[in-house]
Every structure is written in C-alpha cells, then in structure tokens.
Structure 1
Amino acid sequence: MSLNRKFKRLLASSLAVGLISSQFAMPSFAAPNEDAKKTGPKDATFNLSLMHTNDTHARLDNVAKRVTAIKEVRQEKPNALLLDAGDVFSGTLFFNEFKGQADLEFMNLVGYDLMTFGNHEFDLGSSPEGHEALANFVKNANFPFVSTNIDFSNDDHLKGLFHDKTKNNAKDSNIYSGVVKKVNGEKVGFIGLTTEETAEISSPEGIVFENYIKEAEEAVKALEHRGINKIVAITHLGFDDNPAYDNDLELAKHVEGIDVIVGGHSHTQLNNAVVVSTDERGKAKDPTVIVQAYQYSEFLGTLDVEFNKKGQVIGQAGQLINISAKREDPEAAELLKKYSSKIEELKNKPTGGIAEKALMNPRTNDVGPSVRNSETELGNLITDGMLDKAKIFNENTLIAFQNGGGIRAPIDQGEITFGDVLTTLPFGNTLASIKLSGTEIKSALEHSVSQAPKESGGFLHVSGLKFTYDSTKPAGNRVVSMDVETSEGVFTPLDLQKEYVVATNAFTAKGGDGFTVFRKAYEEGRVTDLGFSDWENLRDYVAKLVNVNPQIEKRIVDVTRP
C-alpha cells in the first residue's frame, strides 16, 4: 500500500516508447536572465524553485538528515517551496504507535508548504476510529492540503476540513481543491490528485475518488480563468503506473496547462526531470515537467523551472539529493529521541523465533526477483503462518493467499522481534477465510499474475498450493496448472468444480487490489473474519517454528522464465 506498490520501471523504459524527453535547454539559475534585464519587464522570465518528497511511509530514522538537506537548499534558495506528494502514513512502528503525528512534527519543524494525499493516508478507514487519525494529522499541520479529485463529504471526520474552492490565502490545517501561492510576486496555482485505485488498495470507506483527468481539466481552466498561467500538480498517481487507472505520463498528455507534476505512488527514482511535450495524439504541446523522488525519504527532490511571460516552461533543472550523505540536524535529532525511545522497547521484544538467514523483500530496483512478481522465502513464511492459524478455526482450510503489496520489509538474520514482524506487516489486516470454487481460485490466480513480469501489489504469495503460468500469454489466460496440497506433501490437481476454504487477509478478502472475485464472495456472505491481525499470525508462527528457515519451493513458476 499499497506503500501501495511499485519501485518499478526505470526511466529508460519510458524513454524507449518515445513519449518523453529528459533533455531540455535552460539558462543558468545562478542569476536572473540577462536578456530580461536589458529588455525590461515585458520579456522577463520567472524562476520557480521547488523541493519535494513522496512515499516517506513513516521512515523517520533518517529524518534529521532530511531536515539538514532542506535547510541547505533553503539557504541557497530562500523562496523554494517544499511539497509532499503523499503516503506519509503506514510502514513503520513510528506510524503504528503515533498515527502520523511523529512525522507531522518534523514536517512542521522544517516548514512544508503544501501536501496532497496518498492512498495510504486512508489505511485506517475501516478501523473503529475511521479517519480520525487522518483528520488529526490535517488539524495539527502547519500547512494546507490540496486535493482536487476527492469527495470528503460523506466522512464525518474530514468533511468539515475540506473546502471545495481554490484559495489565494490557504489556511493551515485545511484542505482545498486548489491553492494559489504568490512566489516572488507571481501567482502559482496548485492542484492535488490521488489515484482512484485507492478505493481498491486502501480502506477509504465513504470517501469517493473522482476521475483525475476530468477534475484536473476543470481545475486548470478555473485557475487560467483567474489569470494564473503557471500551474503545478502535486500527484499521487504513479509516474508510469497502470494507465487503466491513472498516471503522470497520461495526465501530462491529456491535460493542457499543467506545467509541473510533482509525483508519488510508484516510488520512481527520476534522477533527472522528465519533460512531456506531445499530447495524447502525438501533437506538440507546451512542455510539462515531471519529477519524483523515489521512496522512504532516501532523497530530497529539487526542481528549478523557468517560465516565459506567457507561463510556458522554457527551461528546467531537477536533481535528487542523497539524504544519507548529510549530517543530522541537531535539533531534529534531539526531537526524534522522544519518539524513538517510546518504540524501542516494543521493537526489541522477542517473538521467540530465530531467522537462520536474512529473509529478503526485494523490489524491481533491487537485485533479483520482486515480492510483487515472484515467489519469495518471506512470502512463503507469511502464508504458511496464515494457513496454520486458519486451520485452528477450520481444519478444512487448504490454501492461503497474501498480496505482495502488503509485505513491506525484510527480516534480518537472528532473533525475530515484535518490531520485525510489525515492520514487515504494518497494516494490521485481520485474517479471513473465504469459501471459493476452484474456478474462482483460478480467476484469482489469473488476476495475480496479470501484470507479470511487471510488479503488482496484488501478486499473490501462496501456501497449500502450487501453480504455473505463462507470462507471454494474454492476461486472463496465463495459468497453466494448479495443484492443491490435500495432505502433507501430497498435491492433486485443483478441481474447478469443488469448493475450497481459503485464508487471506481481510483487505484482500473484501476485494482489495482489484480482486473482484473475492469482493463477490464477500458480498455473498462467503467471507468470515477470524480476527487475528496479520502481524500476530506471523509472530505466533515464528514462535512456533523457533528456527525459521523457509525455502523457495517452486510454488509459483513462470514457465517462460529460467
């Protein structure tokens, strides 16, 4: 949660399709344009400096270094704006314990100017408290939020904080559909967009996500009607994510008038800004500059954009600043202690299990397979634990599924602590059982591998089942064979007509990650919530094993890959 979903697809893959260009001439930003000095204000250009973060996911161990990096940029460019493209929530013990307030204290300390919402900001919607934590996050923020395509009107916690208007002097602790900021005497318009897929990959409950292109077009027109010709979209759509939902490349092509997209969601490392200069028909358009700063506060993104008098981008320079290379800011480092000390005891509490080796959680930017496209030892361990727990409630449970997007961190070799399991499975999803036909299981497996070998948060890790598929075949017709473990070590072909009891997490059981086959079963009353949270299941299972040493067992095999 999805953090979400995708540390995927390098810039080169996008360049290969000929849609974008990362080279764009621009004058130096060391001094004002010399020609503008000679010709006067009529031909003057305008320089906008931005800093940006995205998908920090409550990673606060390096926050003091992030503060240093921000201060250094501000010292050089005091008018630079600091933006966040969402997914501050979920991912570490800092979030489990403080529900975003720890992150917020540092955001307030360093002076963020504006933020939009990521999908994980809505993870707590199905809890008894609903979106209370998100509302408190907004209320305590010393900056405003911009959200153009979200309808908050059905949520009691958030509806009073949202203003469906574009505001010139946006107040802190409020949400607006559009924000106008004055920078160096020039007005700059901001809109905010969150992926519609949030409805499937998080728990927004009554909150509605509207079409990003339609809402962006209307917002841009409204800004232009007010005479604003420099427009920035802060987005949580993904750089090159599934276009069937939304992504930044599609936004840049379809919506005329957006000059800059500060993105998040796909965890994409854009070392240089990307420029889109053709529309959806391939015709030339005014340039749109896209940036994104990877994940987990590992980088601080910076962007300098030069506009001509008409508000057209005539130059840009963007880079990522490596946070790890910075020294810790003393004030921030001291402030962190009050949070880190409170979770230290919980982090270090042993489960009773010992990992005989490091259990990796790779992504496509790492070496080797990804947790979102391949069987992993950690995925096998988690699903084995789910199945073991589910059998206590119903001994006829034969299969367990865990979505790869819900596995968030590796487990180091040695003693396994509460902190380890909570960081690996941070969402607190409860265990559920579903009654499914063999045909429905096949449908779920087809959806699981529909994007392979590309990453998908809905890629299912399995226990009690082995299956093969062919990633070269059309999506929906990829599964080749399926065998279920009917007794220990004995596998028989899955019977498409037979009913099976399957264990999974409640998020997936309700249709998360686009599993319509599970949603149908849920709506028909075939899902039983068993109550135990995912991290508790893993905690109990590793304690039961004591010596934890899962293996790759060819549970999931792409017949086209070596």
Structure 2
Amino acid sequence: MEAESGNRRRITKLLIRLSLTVPLLAGMVATPIMHAAVKAEEAASPAAGNAKDGFHLRLLHTNDTHAHLDLVARRMTAIKQLRTPNTLLLDAGDVFAGTPYFTQYEGLADLWFMNAAKYDAMTFGNHEFDRGTATLRSFIRGASFPFVSANVTYGDDPNLGPLFADRAGVRGEAGQIYPSIIREVSGEAVGIFGLTTAEASALSSPGQHLVFEEAVASARAAVSSLQAKGVTKIIALTHQGLTEDQKLADAVPGIDIIVGGHSHSRLVAPAVRHADREPTLIVQAGEHGKNLGQLDAQFNASGVITQWSGRLLALDAMKSDGKPMWAEDAEAAAKLSAFAMVLNQIQRTVVGYTKVTLDGEHAHVRTRETNLGNLIADSMLDKIKSIVHAPDVEGYVAIQNSGNIRASIRRGPITLGDLLTVMPFGNKITAIRMTGEEIMAALENGVSGVEQREGRFPQVAGMRFYYDSTKQGERVDAVSHIREAGHRMMKVQLLREDGSYSAIKPDAMYVVATNTFMAGGGDFYAAMERASDAGRRYKLELLDYEVLSEYLSKIGRVTARVEGRVMDLRGRTLPD
C-alpha cells in the first residue's frame, strides 16, 4: 500500500507541475538575484516562513570549508539569526584538510562548531578519506548529527562498516551513516540523501575496502526509496562538482534541491534546471568558510517548488562604519581561541625567508608552473638525491601533484605554520624507479585535467616538458583505467648537471621523487602505481613539510621563479 500511495503522489506531482505557468517561473528565476542584494541585517526576517499557501523550507548550507575556522564564530551568529522553525542546516563535505587546524586536530576542531551549530546532516567529500577510515571514524562518532552516503559501500571496512546502517529513509541517529534520512520540518517530511564523487578512490586514501559507485544509479535508487515512503520533497547532498550536479538534475527526476560541493563554486543565486517543468535548484557556497548559503523554497501540496530565493552571505562583510556585518558569537570565539593557542607556537616558528611571494593559488598552481611548485619539487628532488644512490639510472626527477599545494606564501619570514597551510595533508615523500616511457605516461595523466583545474596537474624538478592542451587528454574512469589515450605530451627533457637539457629516453631508468599518495595511484597516476606494484618503490616515508623546511635552511633566502619547466603550446609548433 505504501508503494501504491507513492505512485499516486508521483502521478499527481506530474499533473500539477504541468499547470505551472511559464511567466510565473520566469519571474521566480530572477528572484534570487534580487534577493542576493538584500542587506545582511535584514536577513533574520522569516520572510516566507509563515506562508499560508504551501510549505516553506529554508536551507542554510556550507561546503569545502577545509578547516578554515577564522570566520566560524561569525558563521555561528549568522546561523542563529537566520534559523527558523522551518530550517535545515547541511554540509556538502570536505571539512577535512587545508590548514594547521586539521593537521593538529584532524577535523575535531571543526566538529565542535558543527555540533554547536546543530547541523542536521553532512555528506562526505573526498578529503574526508585523506587520513584513512580510522580518522574519519573518530570524526563521525563525535558528531551530533547523521551522515548521508548513498553511493559508497562500507560493509567490509572495519572502521566505517559498523557505522553504516543500510536503512533508507529513517530519521537517522547521530554518529551513524545512512543512504538517506527523513527529517520532519513543521510536520512535513523532507528526504535527504548523499553522494560522493566516485573519483574519491583515486583522489584520496580510503583504503581497499570502500567501493564508490556511480552517482546517477545510486541517486535513482535513493529517490525511489524515499518516494516509496511518501516523501515528495527531496534534497541531494552531494560532493561531486557543479557540472556533475547539473547532469544529476537532468538525469534523475524527483530531486528538488541539490546542495553541492567539490568544485568550490560560488553560486550567488541557485542554478536552475528545467525551470519550465518541475524545477531542480542547485546551490553551492564557494570555499573555505567564507560564505553561508541560504535558500528559501516554497513547495505546493504535491511537493513541487513554485517559488525560490537564494543567496550567499559573505561572513567577512563589513558595515559602512567599519564594523563586521556579522558579530562573533562569544562562545564560539572563546573556543576558537582555545584551539588556536595550541597552534600559535607552531605557526610562529620561523623556518625560512622568501624575497618573493610564492604562488600557490588554486587557479594558478593547477594550470601552470609556479615558483612555489618549483620550490617544493626542488626540495623533494634534493632530499631524494641525498638518500637514494643509484649509479645505474639515467637521472633523477621530481613530480608533485598540485592538489597537495593549498596556499601561497607572502614575501618575508616563512613559518612552520605557513608550510602546514601549504601542505596540510601530512603526505610522505618517497621515490620510485620509473622508465622514461612511464614518466611520460605519468605526465600525460597530469596535464589531462588542466581545463577543470584538477589537482593532478604536475609541478616538476630536474626536467621540463612541453604539452598541447588543444589535443585530446587522457580519459580515465574512477579507478584509473584508461578509457581513451591522451595525446598532449609533446616533449620531455632531462636537466643535466651543466644546466643543459637532453631528451628523456623511453627505455632508460630514472629515479622519480614523488609523494606516497601519487605512488599509490592517487590523482590517477596509474603509471606510478604500476611501478610501485612491480617492486620499484623505495621504502621511504619522509614528511613533506619537514623536507621543505630542511631545504629552506639549506638554501637560505628564497628567490624561486618560473623557469619554463612546464610549457603549454596551445596549438603552436614545438620549438627545436
């Protein structure tokens, strides 16, 4: 009977959505832009919260905060002022990794504030798996809210398997994982299910037991199970990026709202799919806790959204008198100070000095050579050459994924805190014996995601290479199986001791300094994984920030610059 009732609701929902007029929807699409201009001090008004016609839902949402806690006390104030009886507070993942707060507290500092703010649910980002499932288990067990995850199989994992309840559409207990949950908001049932990018197995370190399934099929199953329970208002809480969220909205009927993450997209108004039919709204709040997202949606009796308004609230905004738009919550500010006290000594320890700004900006380091990328790769190469003595190899090179470079360093003293902010994952430096052909394959992978600013983009030392981004890039699946070969790598040259360059030899052997994440196949570096599996990886695990710190003390004042190590031809002729 329950399934039959769900079918009747879906049919009614379909009929009613056909009655929506295009002029009304067109007017509503413009509403978020107008609403985004409303002053923050006016935002506490419940607005449509007391609407007599239909059901009003308010969502407050965050994503990709990455342990940036500087504005968290203001976020607490904003949440308290904006929350109404019809509000859900959601996070779309990647709380982990990004600042010394994570290095020191492994997410538990962030969790204190999330618990205090009374989040309703969270899904997992790929970085939640960076320290393995044991660290994530501690985070989950300490949470006062449930987690939603519909496309990950946890059963065989000893840490997360016991926390996963394979029961869809229940209320959900704190510190547990569910495919979906149902929250009652002012007497109305709201379904929430979670999705994590299937690429997490390659982008993070989840171990051997977790299986990341394809998102669309998992979403269809989650929506179907919620509809079978009579739920007509459904939210997808996702961590897969804006492009994939748009595909999801088009491929899976029945999703009303997608609260997304992963692409760090700053959507000042909801992205709307098929507004002329039954609309699906997509929201995302940028990155690093700079914004709090707000979405107000009006549902009719059949669960169709008929009106909406969304905006981002800049938590660092200032009033005309120079005071913050959002005052700090006193309790949260005090707690942040307590967390910060432990870090202050670490952050103040000076380990070097730079005469130039070292560029680690997200948009730069993932698309081109930068001086910070060169400095880090140089430090890795210098360390490995001092340890690994292999007179039979043709040479030594270093390859570092740009996803492991998270911030810039300003000109002046360099502190240990700066290094931990730039490289917050605690990755280890290692070395692999690879042929020239394998190195070229690794670099082909590295430049194949440049258009999407993927973290696999390589920063290198001991060599230079030319590639052509206008040519076909390598296409891989979520487990690094090549679906289509790439043709971007044009020339790779080895730096000689006299400063000259010579062509890399496909059959010759080289020692490659890299990190253990890449050596294990992370960021789709399958060539490195195969070389490691073949027994050609050295048993080295040197902390990356310690390697860089040691190198800084060795070289003195930093004057790193861009040298032409990475060159995109963009369709031009390869130079002689």
What range is the shorter-chain TM-score in? 0.7 to 0.9
Match runs of 1:132-211 below 5 Å: 132-205=134-207, 206-211=209-214
Alignment correspondent of 2:496: 486
Alignment correspondent of 1:237: 240
Alignment correspondent of 1:6: none
Contact 2:235/2:256 (<8 A) preserved: yes
1:210 shift after superposition: 1.3
Deviations 1:127-148 (A, max 9, x none): xxxx222112111111111111
SS in 2 for 1:200: helix
Alignment correspondent of 2:328: 328
| Whole-angstrom distance in 2 between the partners of 1:529 and 1:354 | 32
Deviations 1:382-401 (A, max 9, x none): 00000000001224551000
* Structure 1 counterpart of 2:381, from 387, 403, 409: 387
| Whole-angstrom distance in 2 between the partners of 1:452 and 1:337 | 39
Q: 1:156 to 1:271 in 2, by over 3 A?
A: same
Match runs of 1:430-441 below 5 Å: 430-441=428-439
Alignment correspondent of 1:443: 441
Alignment correspondent of 2:127: 120
* Structure 2 counterpart of 1:49, from 29, 50, 58: 58
Q: 1:104 to 1:153 in 2, by over 3 A?
A: same
SS in 1 for 2:409: coil
Contact 2:190/2:234 (<8 A) preserved: yes
Alignment correspondent of 2:412: 414
Question: What is the TM-score when the length of structure 2 is the normalising length?
Answer: 0.85
**Which 5+ residue runs of structure 2 have no aligned equivalent?**
1-25, 36-45, 318-325, 474-485
Match runs of 1:369-388 below 5 Å: 370-388=364-382
| Whole-angstrom distance in 2 between the partners of 1:149 and 1:296 | 25
Contact 1:56/1:296 (<8 A) preserved: yes
Contact 1:252/1:288 (<8 A) preserved: yes
| Whole-angstrom distance in 2 between the partners of 1:452 and 1:54 | 23
| Whole-angstrom distance in 2 between the partners of 1:65 and 1:359 | 30
SS in 1 for 2:150: coil
| Whole-angstrom distance in 2 between the partners of 1:33 and 1:113 | 22
| Whole-angstrom distance in 1 between the partners of 2:49 and 2:155 | 45
Deviations 1:297-321 (A, max 9, x none): 0000000111122211222111000
Contact 2:85/2:186 (<8 A) preserved: no
Alignment correspondent of 1:226: 229
Deviations 1:30-60 (A, max 9, x none): 34797xx5xxxxxx42111100000111111
- Code of the residue aligned with 1:148 in structure 2: it is A
1:421 shift after superposition: 0.8
Contact 2:28/2:307 (<8 A) preserved: no
Alignment correspondent of 2:29: 24
Match runs of 1:353-368 below 5 Å: 353-364=352-363
* Structure 2 counterpart of 1:400, from 369, 376, 398: 398
Alignment correspondent of 2:41: none
Contact 2:64/2:264 (<8 A) preserved: yes
Contact 1:22/1:275 (<8 A) preserved: no
Match runs of 1:292-303 below 5 Å: 292-303=284-295
- Code of the residue aligned with 1:123 in structure 2: it is D
Q: 1:411 to 1:235 in 2, by over 3 A?
A: same
| Whole-angstrom distance in 2 between the partners of 1:302 and 1:141 | 23
| Whole-angstrom distance in 2 between the partners of 1:355 and 1:33 | 57
Contact 2:49/2:57 (<8 A) preserved: no
Alignment correspondent of 2:21: none
Alignment correspondent of 1:552: 562
* Structure 1 counterpart of 2:519, from 509, 512, 516: 509
1:523 equivalenced with 2:520 (yes/no): no
Alignment correspondent of 2:68: 59
1:317 equivalenced with 2:309 (yes/no): yes
Question: What is the TM-score when the length of structure 1 is the normalising length?
Answer: 0.87
Alignment correspondent of 2:482: none
Deviations 1:281-302 (A, max 9, x none): xxx7522110000000000000
| Whole-angstrom distance in 2 between the partners of 1:23 and 1:45 | 16
State the superposition RMSD in angstroms. Answer: 2.0
| Whole-angstrom distance in 1 between the partners of 2:163 and 2:194 | 15
SS in 2 for 1:316: strand
| Whole-angstrom distance in 2 between the partners of 1:557 and 1:24 | 43
Greater mean alpha carbon deviation, residues 194-203 or residues 321-330 = 321-330
Alignment correspondent of 2:20: none
- Code of the residue aligned with 1:98 in structure 2: it is Y
Deviations 1:135-194 (A, max 9, x none): 121111111111111111122222221101124332112111110011121101000000
* Structure 2 counterpart of 1:256, from 253, 256, 264: 253
SS in 1 for 2:379: helix
* Matched-pair identity in %: 44
1:102 equivalenced with 2:114 (yes/no): no
| Whole-angstrom distance in 2 between the partners of 1:32 and 1:341 | 41
**Which 5+ residue runs of structure 1 have no aligned equivalent?**
1-20, 38-43, 126-130, 241-246, 279-283, 365-369
1:23 shift after superposition: 6.3
Contact 1:25/1:315 (<8 A) preserved: no
| Whole-angstrom distance in 1 between the partners of 2:386 and 2:131 | 28
Q: 1:428 to 1:145 in 2, by over 3 A?
A: same
Deviations 1:350-402 (A, max 9, x none): 22x211122121233xxxxx110100000000000000000012245510000
| Whole-angstrom distance in 2 between the partners of 1:542 and 1:316 | 53
Alignment correspondent of 2:267: 270
Q: 1:538 to 1:261 in 2, by over 3 A?
A: same
Alignment correspondent of 2:82: 73
Alignment correspondent of 1:473: 471
Deviations 1:503-562 (A, max 9, x none): 100111111111111121122112223121111111111111120110100101112389
Q: 1:310 to 1:25 in 2, by over 3 A?
A: farther
